[in-house]
Amino acid sequence: MKITLIILGVLVILILGGALLFLNACEDDWCYVYQWQKLRAADSFERCASLGFPVMESSPRQCSAGSKTFTENTPPPAQADMIHVFSPLPNSLVTSPLTITGEARGGWYFEASFPVRLLDANNLLLAASPAQAQSDWMTPNFVPFQVTLIFSPPTTATGTLILEKDNPSGEPANAAEVDIPVQF
């Protein structure tokens, strides 16, 4: 009789332990049977949406899981939509003086200019100068720019031309740049 109670007690403990493990440690979507399991699993916008919670079609989109709301991380607009460089083209052979031309949206400028740097393959600064807007820069449209860099011939065969979005706030979220590989 005593052995039967011990065996029965061990079986009950094993069954309860297995059930608790199944209900709490499950990480696959198929085992989220109850709403409270889904609520606990929702920890990001993507996860919330994949678990079937309602997604609000706002900008940016939001997903609500009970009392928690998750906002979709939207990437900033592609740099191709912000700046176009006409010259030099990537991997072009460049010499001093180097004239850089193109167009950038008004938001790329601050006070009608943005920084331009030329580095060699060792990341040593060869030249730096602000590119100047050629017309009114206070517009969301593309505005032509031009800058000329004068530099000494580097010791490396390659380098990088960096056109940096002017960011007077210093906020990383507002920072952007276009890197163009060049040859010397």
Residue 74 pLDDT > 80? no
Q: Is the dihedral of CA 176, 179, 180, 184 positive or negative?
A: positive
pLDDT-above-90 percentage for the chain: 37
Q: Can you give the pLDDT at residue 101? A: 96
Residue 146 pLDDT > 70? yes
Confidence of residue 115 (pLDDT cuts 50, 70, 90): very high
Domain regions of the chain by residue span: 35-74, 79-183
Cα–Cα distance list, 128 to 16, 21, 33, 163 (Å): 69, 61, 60, 10
Average pLDDT over residues 45-51: 85
User: Could you confirm whether domain 79-183 is CATH 2.60.40.2550?
Assistant: yes
pTM over 0.75? The answer is: no
- β strands within 45-176, DSSP E: 55-56, 62-65, 68-71, 83-87, 92-93, 98-105, 113-120, 125-133, 142-149, 158-164
Average pLDDT over residues 55-64: 80
Q: Is the dihedral of CA 101, 107, 109, 112 positive or negative?
A: positive
